Structure 1
Amino acid sequence: MKNVPKAIIVLWIGLLFFMVWPLGTSAAAVQENNRSIPVTMWEIKWGNVNDQGFISEISGLDDVWERRGSGRMDYESSGQPTQSLWTRLTIPELNEDSPAIRFENIKGQHIVMYLQDRKVYENYHYNYDNNAVLLPLNQSNSGDRLYIWSENSNGRLGIQGTVEIGRYTVLQEKYIHSGLLDVILGATFLFTAITMVSCTFFFGKFHKGLWISLCVVMGSIGIMIITYSPFLYTFYQNQGNLYSVLFDTAMLSGMPALCYFFEQIIGRGPYGVFTKLRKFQLVYSIIAVLALSVYFASEGQVNLLYVILVQKGNGIVLVVLLTLLMIGTVSKAMQKNREAIMLAAGFGTFALVSVAELLWFYQRGGAYHLTWWKWSMAAFIVSLIAILGSRFAEKHTKVIEYSKELELFNNELQRSEKMEIISELAASVAHEVRNPLQVTRGFLQLMTEQEDHINKGYVRIALEELDRASDIITDFLTFAKPEFDQIASLNIAEEFDHIEGILVPMANLEGGKITTDIPPNLWIRGNSSKFKQAFINIIKNSIEALQGQGQIDIWAYAQDGIIKVHVRDNGEGMDEEALHRLGEPYFSNKIKGTGLGMMVTFRIVEAMNGQISFTSTKGVGTEAVVSFAEFVS
């Protein structure tokens, strides 16, 4: 029984082996069947000037064919340059069920193919001379001759790249893949640009110029990548001339937008060079688009300006433009401009690759197929989006800051309106109330002399409450009219000597201690009595917050023309809510407090063109900072 599990394991391993082994054999067989046969040898014959690609043009001329092989391009004959070339090869023995032959690239604007004497393929590429061809075959074509006639006004002729024979489905996958990735990349840029354009209506004037220019650049790049891809020319070859026109139009439209974007990022440049470059590029693009339109409308009959401005000059202008923009971007980045650094990184990659490829293209006489610029463009687009995104983020941060400032201004406005209402109320009521109080107090004092001992206690309490009411009215009057009749130069140290004389005994009774550190040469302009009243209110609150023991530190100093006076205690402190409400009328932490004392303090400091701020932590203490403009005699 103990060997049963082991036997089961061995049985399962055996079953898996017999199940997997046929799969491995099948996979190997499939791989073997999918293997393509390369074609490395063929023959060529140069065509005549009047060749039209008819098979009858080469009949009976088997003795003039030249043997060629892969890896060699044929540009012109040994004699006079020609615009057409015949290529022939022999189809080997075909064992596949659905065979086909794939040409990676045949150079020519017009391609015609014949199997024996039967036309099997024809393709027009107009201004584009890279042709990927997949030709279906059958087993009966074994040993047949395949004739290829190619014509090219640029003189670039011959087979370039791989030629292979294999299963149709396998070669079709390679065939479709050729250029499809370019279409996907270009479509991504184009779709993104269209989506961004649809968002333009929600921005108002907020960076609309930069946003639209970025959309135009991205859309132009997307169209250029799509229309430059061999995929369209391979599957939709009848519209080859339209693709060429779209490519040129997209390039001519994107270049002014690119100049505008750079001008907004790196500035006008020395002597306004980048502004002038943008204007020149705009004029050049307009004239070139008009020349392109005339060429297209005349079906190629009127082509002088098109050849000069679009086919010949546009590439040169693009090289100069990219070089100048790169120089300007690098110089701006060297000034540690963050946006210029991002732009230099993305645009530098694109510009260097594009200029290198264009120079190599011209050096090869147009025989080079531009490839890498499309992928370097992705880095450039990412940098443009990053720059615009950083600007949006910066604006968003500013909006948040402005919102906070607006909230503070709104709170200050509400406080000012509230104070104004209280001032008017205090001014209108205080005088009317004070006179009856004084009369009442006088009569109570007269009654004190006539009343017995018991009633004298009640009269004394009534007099104390009348005095407290009088003090409240005095505070109201001070708040309502903080202007000072007597303005003088005040020495901060001397003023605090008087304040100490009043409050030190009170602090000692409460178990606290007051220390001062004020230099003797600090001067401000203000009213002495009101100055003392404001700081007495502040220090009295600190004494009452000590709750039997503690320390009050007072110090002052001058800084950048401002005198700052600090009053700090280690009392009970305040929470955040109480700190924000400090100075509001009728708000107080004290049981019998009215809040008017601190309200008057704020009003006095404000009338002396000063500022007051409080910081406090519950259970730690409170610190008041009062700032005044320094007076220099």
Structure 2
Amino acid sequence: MKSLIKGFIVFFVIVIVVLFGFIFKSSSPEDSDIIHINHWQIAWTDHLEPQPNTEWLEGLDNWTDVRAGDDIPVMPSTGMSQWIKIQLPELKGNSEVLLIEKIYGKHIVVNINGVSIYETQRKFNYNLNSILVPIRAEESKQTVYIGVSANNKIGIFDEIKIGDYQSLMKDFIRQSISDLILGSTLIFIAVIMLFCSVFLKYVNMSMWFSLCAVIFSSGLLVLTYSPFVFWLFDYTSTGRLLVILFDVALFILLPSFTFFFEKIFGPGYFNLIRWSRKFLVGYSTLCILVLITNEIASNRFYNVYSLITTQFAGYIIIFQFLILICLLSIYMIKGNKEAVIFFVGVLSFTLFCAGELIWYYYNDGYYKLFLWKVGVICFLTSLIIILGRRFAENHEQVVEYSKQLEMFNNELQRSEKMEIISELAASVAHEVRNPLQVTRGFLQLLVEKQQSSDKVYLSMALEELDRASGIITDFLTFAKPEGGKVTTLNVLDEFIHIEGILIPLANLQGGKITVHIPKNLYVRGNSSKFKQAFINIIKNSIEALKGEGDIQIWGYEETTDVVLHIKDNGEGMDEEVLARLGEPYFSNKTKGTGLGLMVTFRIIEVMNGQIHFNSKKGTGTEVIIRFPSVKLEENVTG
């Protein structure tokens, strides 16, 4: 899944490169043969006459000069139509065309010298058109009349191009194809993500589906906003469907985006995000109901529908993004990394989209939004990065949970083993020890009276009985390590006794013991059990030296713990052996039973301590033991 997220991000980068490539090409110097017309005349009429003659057109009053980029001519009264008069230049061939990339109107008629050569009439509410009209060389210097009727926005406001058909078509398609590429890509990504949802766990489903909805609706908005798509499918049924799809995409985008935001950052302060999401769900539901009602009523409620879904929607989008930016700023101040990523995406989207919306309303709708597509790419990329981070975090949590589960499972198995052995030791040890003591007593009598060579075998039998008795003692110690008097122990005093016992054994092996423990370390426990545990550990270190070597023992207080280290430079252990330390009957010694270290673990556990081994084969072993620290004023006999 992480590779899938990376793939999506790479795909978005490619789309950005392609999109900007088209933008760069479209801004390159154009063919010198293309003629740009940036001025014309307009006149207003009460209604649009589809096939007027030249005399009627020239007889219209108040022809007004207009230039591209000038102030927008205001419609004198509602419902009036506009005629546009353009003077053709000298034409060089019969493959010339007149291209108007942006003209607002629902009914458009093109007339040359009283002859109608082009007409389009839309029954759906999308006023922005692109028209391409063929003209011939014999029509040079003639006048072109363009009649336009519309409910509100009307007329031409960008320059008109005249030139070779192939050159203009390439230029027109190059400038418009980016919408098709970006919109189709986003829809394709959303569909692929939807199919990939079968591999997700339930906990990630809501975020994934909300992101799918955001990407899908964004792609649908890009695709259905482009006039190029309407130019390709300029007939009533398809055009009407494209308009409906645009509105539905906008109704889906608002609540799904807010829902994704809520899933990332929670309900927000005073449940502001949650209330915003609920409001947007209600608003989108209302818009869909009004849309259905307007379609059933054959567009009779368009003014109400336009007010709710166009005017209100723009203000709601601006207000919503202001709220999100304020909340993101608070989260960023608190150090939330996802808020930083989200803020960059939302800020990019806001600068492009909200800025263009403000400019759109400032121009009374006579502005074609296009920078918002770049904002959409930046915004969606930030969402995918955040989702990728969430999946990565979930993966790390799963790995961590697996490690903890394995550790708990090992601890559980060890506890079960210890419990079984403890019960076995408590029930059997005393019963076995009594006959052993009796047998040993009789064998000792026989040894004292025996003068023959059999005395050697009897001595060996006594040694083995003593060994068996020692194992039973370990069993009893493991079964009831808490036995005995519990007091506050001075760690240094205890190690002075331990050092006195073990230094002769270390010297015999050729080793050396060094002890550095301060005087003010105190722990709670039984003195004999404490000594027994550390004697077992240090004896193991002595035996691991295999000759000359050093054993260093030091201690210190760390926060609320007393920490003791026992380090040797003996033969060491590998990871497999380390993992099995403390198991009964596991030992590296030839005659070892593993019970000594098992008893040590049990004693430390009863004293609320912890033991940890660090070792590598051939480099020695370090044992770290922690006990809860006891202050001197807390010295109370247990």
- The CA distance in 1 between the partners of 2:69 and 2:551, in whole Å, is 96
- The CA distance in 2 between the partners of 1:178 and 1:99, in whole Å, is 20
- The CA distance in 2 between the partners of 1:371 and 1:311, in whole Å, is 17
* Cα shift at 1:624: 1.0
Aligned partner of residue 207 in structure 1, secondary structure? helix
Which residue of structure 2 aligns with residue 106 of structure 1?
A: 103
- The CA distance in 1 between the partners of 2:600 and 2:589, in whole Å, is 16
For 2:379, give the aligned amino acid.
F
- The CA distance in 2 between the partners of 1:59 and 1:601, in whole Å, is 113
Which residue of structure 1 aligns with residue 9 of structure 2?
A: none
Aligned partner of residue 453 in structure 2, secondary structure? helix
Which residue of structure 1 aligns with residue 539 of structure 2?
A: 540
- The CA distance in 1 between the partners of 2:585 and 2:57, in whole Å, is 118
- The CA distance in 1 between the partners of 2:389 and 2:198, in whole Å, is 20
For 1:521, give the aligned amino acid.
N
Map Cα deviations across residues 83-118 of structure 1 (whole Å, 9 max, x no partner): 322234455555446433322222323212234444
Which residue of structure 2 aligns with residue 224 of structure 1?
A: 221
Map Cα deviations across residues 277-316 of structure 1 (whole Å, 9 max, x no partner): 2222222222222222222221221234313212322212
Using the aligned pairs only, state the percent identity: 44
Aligned partner of residue 590 in structure 2, secondary structure? coil
- The CA distance in 2 between the partners of 1:54 and 1:323, in whole Å, is 51
TM-score of the pair, normalised by structure 1? 0.88
The range that moved more, 616-625 or 37-46, is 37-46
Map Cα deviations across residues 321-374 of structure 1 (whole Å, 9 max, x no partner): 222222222232222210100000011011122121111111112111111011
Aligned pairs for 1:562-601 within 5 A: 562-601=561-600
Contact 1:102 1:171 in 2 (8 A): yes
Aligned pairs for 1:156-171 within 5 A: 156-158=154-156, 160-166=158-164, 168-171=165-168
Cα 1:552–1:586 shift into 2, 3 Å: same
TM-score of the pair, normalised by structure 2? 0.87
RMSD (Å) for aligned C-alpha atoms? 2.7
Aligned pairs for 1:383-422 within 5 A: 383-422=382-421
Which residue of structure 1 aligns with residue 187 of structure 2?
A: 190
The range that moved more, 301-310 or 329-338, is 301-310
- The CA distance in 2 between the partners of 1:132 and 1:61, in whole Å, is 26
Which residue of structure 2 aligns with residue 209 of structure 1?
A: 206
The range that moved more, 372-381 or 472-481, is 472-481
Which residue of structure 1 aligns with residue 458 of structure 2?
A: 459
- The CA distance in 1 between the partners of 2:489 and 2:36, in whole Å, is 105
The range that moved more, 116-125 or 550-559, is 116-125
Which residue of structure 2 aligns with residue 435 of structure 1?
A: 434
For 2:230, give the aligned amino acid.
Y
- The CA distance in 2 between the partners of 1:262 and 1:42, in whole Å, is 48
For 1:242, give the aligned amino acid.
L
* Cα shift at 1:209: 2.4
Structure 1 segments unaligned to the other structure (5+ residues): 1-32
For 2:251, give the aligned amino acid.
L
For 1:134, give the aligned amino acid.
L
Contact 1:492 1:523 in 2 (8 A): yes
Cα 1:432–1:78 shift into 2, 3 Å: closer
Cα 1:328–1:630 shift into 2, 3 Å: same
The range that moved more, 237-246 or 503-512, is 237-246
Which residue of structure 2 aligns with residue 298 of structure 1?
A: 297
Higher relative contact order (CA 8 A, sep 6+): 2
- The CA distance in 2 between the partners of 1:349 and 1:402, in whole Å, is 38
Contact 1:98 1:137 in 2 (8 A): yes
* Cα shift at 1:429: 3.9
For 2:163, give the aligned amino acid.
I
* Cα shift at 1:141: 5.2
Q: What is the aligned counterpart of 1:147 among 145, 148, 155? A: 145
Contact 1:85 1:158 in 2 (8 A): no
Aligned pairs for 1:19-98 within 5 A: 36-40=33-37, 44-56=41-53, 59=56, 61=58, 66=63, 68=65, 71=68, 75-76=72-73, 83-89=80-86, 94-96=91-93, 98=95
Map Cα deviations across residues 369-392 of structure 1 (whole Å, 9 max, x no partner): 111011111000000111111111
Which residue of structure 1 aligns with residue 615 of structure 2?
A: 616
- The CA distance in 1 between the partners of 2:349 and 2:427, in whole Å, is 77
- The CA distance in 1 between the partners of 2:70 and 2:515, in whole Å, is 97
Map Cα deviations across residues 254-289 of structure 1 (whole Å, 9 max, x no partner): 112222222333443333333322222222222222
- The CA distance in 1 between the partners of 2:47 and 2:54, in whole Å, is 10
Map Cα deviations across residues 198-238 of structure 1 (whole Å, 9 max, x no partner): 33344343132222222222222111111110112211122
Contact 1:110 1:123 in 2 (8 A): yes
Which residue of structure 1 aligns with residue 527 of structure 2?
A: 528
Contact 1:573 1:622 in 2 (8 A): yes
Aligned partner of residue 160 in structure 1, secondary structure? coil
Which residue of structure 2 aligns with residue 549 of structure 1?
A: 548
